[in-house]
Amino acid sequence: MVAKRENEPAPTSNRTTSERTSERELIITRTFDAPARLVFEAWTTPELFKLWWVPQSSGATLLSCEQDVRVGGGYRLEFAHPKATAPLAFFGRYLEVVPNARLVWTNEESEDGAVTTVTFEEKDGKTLLVMRELYPSKEALDVAIEGMDEAMPETFEQLDKFLIARGTGAEPT
Residue 171 located in a structural domain: no
- 11 inside domain: yes
Query: φ and ψ at 3, to 5 degrees?
Result: -90, -70
For residue 135, being part of any structural domain is answered with yes
| Segments forming the whole domain that contains residue 162 | 4-54+97-166
DSSP per position, 91-111:
EEEEEEEETTTEEEEE--SST
Q: What is the CATH number of the domain that holds 134?
A: 3.30.530.20
- Determine, yes or no, domain membership for 15: yes
Partnered with residue 120 across adjacent β-strands are 129
pTM for this structure?
A: 0.86
Number of domains in the chain: 1
Q: Do the Cβ atoms of 20 and 13 come closer than 8 Å?
A: no
Q: For every one of its 173 residues, what pLDDT tens digit does the chain have, with 9 covering 90 and above?
A: 444 444 433 455 789 999 999 999 999 999 999 999 999 999 999 999 999 999 888 888 999 999 999 999 999 999 998 888 889 999 999 999 999 999 999 999 999 999 999 999 999 999 999 999 999 999 999 998 987 878 899 999 999 999 998 874 444 33
* Residue 78 lies inside a defined structural domain of this protein: no
Q: Count CB atoms within 10 A of the CB of residue 132.
A: 17
What is the sign of the dihedral through the CA atoms of 122, 126, 132 and 133? positive
Decide if 158 contacts 55 (C-beta within 8 A).
Answer: yes
